[in-house]
Structures are given as structure tokens and as C-alpha cells.
């Protein structure tokens, strides 16, 4: 297989796992977080910036690259790694989440017809089209085309969606032309219904994917139901395959999902917040626009080793955001990515040393002011 997972250690008191994910562009430790480069770029960052911040693998979006510049153009440029100048592993999503988020779309057994946002012309995407596009992009990890339904969803529709997702997963696997170079992951759907999650997971495992994702979350269900969706899915996934929770990115959500056996995460939160002047620290979020930082000579976080904190003060960052200087967005994004990379690295070390529960409790006490963790 192009992508394999090696389990190193499972925490004695939780389902938290430490391992290694081997890809054609390198082996990365898990748990891991993937910054999102939606259109083939981490906004405001040179690839060297992302690497300096600790990023080891990034995510790009098939739908957006399918629309612009076109996956055929990326393929002619040597694939996505060459096109965006990133030497490490890349994961592309199937485009399903974005397609199903569009207001004007028609779902059939074959796939989805939607209107191109700028030109209004109809475009069709089904499992074969999604996989073909991802084969052209050439990412290390690609995703099966699935149906991501909104929350709340009636049981009957969620059940129909699971069956369609399973049929589309089988078609995705059949359409995959580069299994020796790209690992294709299946996606567990089923909304917040335990029996549907179980059925979807069990049937996907029969298809023998090299990795599995828990999808259909971060669609308005809230923290508790999100974690229940994980609990309804993970027990039916094999121990020797990597597990990916799609689109989840608050620090507390990540730690709770790690507790339940998830290995990989992605989210736009750290980069989007960094561009907005909201910075993550061990004691909570720091909003650099506040006037109290105008003369503050300390870095964002005195304990942080990121390039931003090692060189620049809060006062300087406040100045950059006040005048809307793009450098501020770059420096803020670097810091936030580093915070997330450090968080999962610390979590991994705690798992290996069998102290994940006290690590999580101590993090919550500082970050949330409550060692018992997130509420609601």
C-alpha cells in the first residue's frame, strides 16, 4: 500500500494512540494536525514558513482546484507537490463537503450537479470525477467521494445517505488508478445515529481502505454530539489503520477526539484566526487588536519557540494589524500553526509516556480555566 500506519503506543487509561503514518513523501508521527491550504496555498505563507512553524503535512481542496486552475493544469505542472512547492505529504479531500454546501445542487445516484459560482454553468461531480481529479493532483492521501449531510438530519434521510456513501465508496475505489502512489481513505457517515455510524464503518472496513475518516461533523452539531459521532464510529475501525476526524480544529475538540482514538485532524481555525489577529496560547486566545497591547514588549507567548515569538513583540504585531499590514497576518498564522503542531506533539509524548490524562487535565486548567474540560 502507498500509505501505511504503524501503531507505537496506546494510552493505558484512554483510547489515545501514538503512531507513524508512512506516505510516499515521508513518514509523519501521529497524532498530527494538517493546516489547510484550500486552493493549493496556506494563505499568506511561503512553504518555508509553514515548515518553520512545524507543519509536516498539509491539506488541499479538490473542489476548488477542480474549478481553478483545473486539475489537468496541476497535473501538467508535475502534480500538486511541484505546483505548490511543498515537499512533504499532502492530503486532498474529495470535494464532497464543498459541493454539498452549495445552495443550487441536484443529487442523484450518479453524483451531484451544481452551478459554478462565477459563471453559473452546471458542473457534474461523482465518485469517478472526484477520484480522477485527485489522481491528477497526485496527493499522498485522497478521499472517497461521500455525501455530507447537514445537521439536524432525519433518520430516514441519514440512512439513505449512508447507503449512497457506501455505494460511492465502492465506486471511488474502483475508479482509483494510482493505488501504488496514493492511499484512498473511506469516510464514515451516519449523522449522530449510532446504528448508522456502525453500519457505515463496518461496511467500509470490508472494502479494506488503508485509512478511515470520520466525516459529517463540524456541521452545527456541537461539541458533545461531535464526540458521540466519534464514539459511534471508532470502535468498528481496525487498530492497524489510521483514523482521521475531518474538519475539527478547536484545541479542546482535538484532545477529546485523541482521547477517543483519533489520529489525524485538519481545520481552517488556526490559519483563519491568525489572519484575524486571534492567537492561541496555553492560557487561552489573545486578541492582538486590543489597545492594551499597544506598548506590550512581550511576545505573544513567552514559552513559544515559533519564529514569530522569538523575534517580534505584541506591540509590533498590534501595530501591523492596526495598519492592516499583510506581514501581521503572516506572523500570526505562523504562530498559530506552531501552537497546533506543539499541542499534538505534546499530546503524542504524553501518550508514549502513559500520562495523557494528566496532560489533558493540566492543559484544560490553563487553557479553559477548568481541568474538567469543555462543556457542551
Q: How far is CA 175 from the centre of its chain?
A: 24
370 is catalytic: no
Where is 61: in which H helix or E strand?
A: strand 58-61
266 is catalytic: yes
Strand 4-10 relative to strand 284-287, pairing? unpaired
In angstroms, rounded to a whole number, what is the distance separating the alpha carbons of residues 264 and 247? 10
Residue of 11, 253, 263, 266 marked active site: 266
In angstroms, rounded to a whole number, what is the distance separating the alpha carbons of residues 11 and 14? 6
In angstroms, rounded to a whole number, what is the distance separating the alpha carbons of residues 284 and 278? 10
The radius of gyration of the chain's CA atoms, rounded to the nearest angstrom, is: 20
Check: CB of residue 358 under 8 Å from CB of residue 346: no
Residues in the chain: 376
Tell me the H-state helices in the chain.
Answer: 47-52, 62-67, 71-76, 80-84, 96-101, 127-137, 155-175, 194-206, 222-233, 251-259, 269-275, 307-311, 314-322, 326-352, 356-367
Strand partners, 5: 21
Strand 122-125 relative to strand 4-10, pairing? unpaired
Residue of 11, 93, 140, 301 marked active site: 93
Check: CB of residue 285 under 8 Å from CB of residue 57: no
Cell numbers of 101, please?
A: 454546501
Under DSSP, the state recorded for 66 is H
Check: CB of residue 273 under 8 Å from CB of residue 336: yes
Active-site residues, by number, are 93, 266
Amino acid at each position: 500500500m502507498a500509505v501505511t500506519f504503524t501503531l507505537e503506543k496506546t494510552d493505558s487509561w484512554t483510547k489515545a494512540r501514538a503512531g507513524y503514518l508512512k506516505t510516499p513523501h515521508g513518514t509523519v508521527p501521529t497524532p498530527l494536525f494538517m493546516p489547510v491550504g484550500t486552493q493549493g496555498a496556506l494563505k499568506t505563507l511561503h512553504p518555508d514558513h509553514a515548515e518553520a512553524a512545524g507543519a509536516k503535512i498539509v491539506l488541499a481542496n479538490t473542489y476548488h482546484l477542480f474549478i481553478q486552475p483545473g486539475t489537468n493544469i496541476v497535473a501538467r505542472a508535475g502534480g500538486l507537490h511541484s505546483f505548490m512547492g511543498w515537499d512533504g505529504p499532502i492530503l486532498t479531500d474529495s470535494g464532497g463537503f464543498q459541493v454539498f454546501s452549495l445552495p443550487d445542487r441536484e443529487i442523484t445516484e450518479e453524483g451531484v450537479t451544481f452551478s459554478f459560482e462565477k459563471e453559473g454553468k452546471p458542473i457534474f461531480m461523482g465518485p469517478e470525477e472526484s477520484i480522477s481529479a485527485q489522481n491528477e493532483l497526485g496527493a499522498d492521501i485522497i478521499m472517497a467521494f461521500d455525501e455530507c449531510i447537514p445537521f439536524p438530519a432525519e433518520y430516514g434521510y441519514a440512512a439513505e445517505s449512508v447507503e449512497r456513501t457506501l455505494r460511492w465508496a465502492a465506486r471511488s475505489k474502483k475508479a482509483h488508478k494510482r493505488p501504488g502512489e496514493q492511499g484512498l481513505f473511506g469516510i464514515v457517515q451516519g449523522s449522530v445515529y449510532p446504528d448508522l455510524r456502525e453500519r457505515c464503518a463496518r461496511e467500509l472496513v470490508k472494502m479494506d481502505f488503508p485509512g478511515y475518516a470520520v466525516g459529517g461533523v463540524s456541521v452545527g452539531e456541537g461539541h458533545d454530539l461531535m464526540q458521540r459521532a466519534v464514539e459511534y464510529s471508532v470502535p468498528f475501525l481496525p487498530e492497524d489503520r489510521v483514523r482521521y476526524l475531518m474538519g475539527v480544529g478547536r484545541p479542546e475538540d482535538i484532545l477529546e477526539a485523541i482521547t477517543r482514538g483519533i489520529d489525524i485532524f485538519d481545520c481552517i481555525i488556526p490559519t483563519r484566526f491568525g489572519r484575524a489577529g486571534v492567537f492561541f496560547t496555553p492560557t487561552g486566545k489573545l486578541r492582538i487588536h486590543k489597545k492594551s497591547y499597544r506598548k506590550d514588549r512581550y511576545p505573544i507567548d513567552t514559552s513559544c519557540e515559533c519564529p514569530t515569538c522569538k523575534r517580534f513583540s505584541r506591540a509590533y504585531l498590534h501595530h501591523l494589524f492596526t495598519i492592516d499590514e499583510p506581514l501581521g497576518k503572516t506572523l500570526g498564522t505562523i504562530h498559530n500553526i506552531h501552537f497546533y503542531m506543539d499541542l499534538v506533539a505534546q499530546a503524542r509524548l504524553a501518550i508514549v509516556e502513559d500520562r495523557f490524562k494528566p496532560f489533558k487535565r493540566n492543559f484544560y486548567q490553563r487553557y479553559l480555566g477548568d481541568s474538567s474540560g469543555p462543556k457542551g
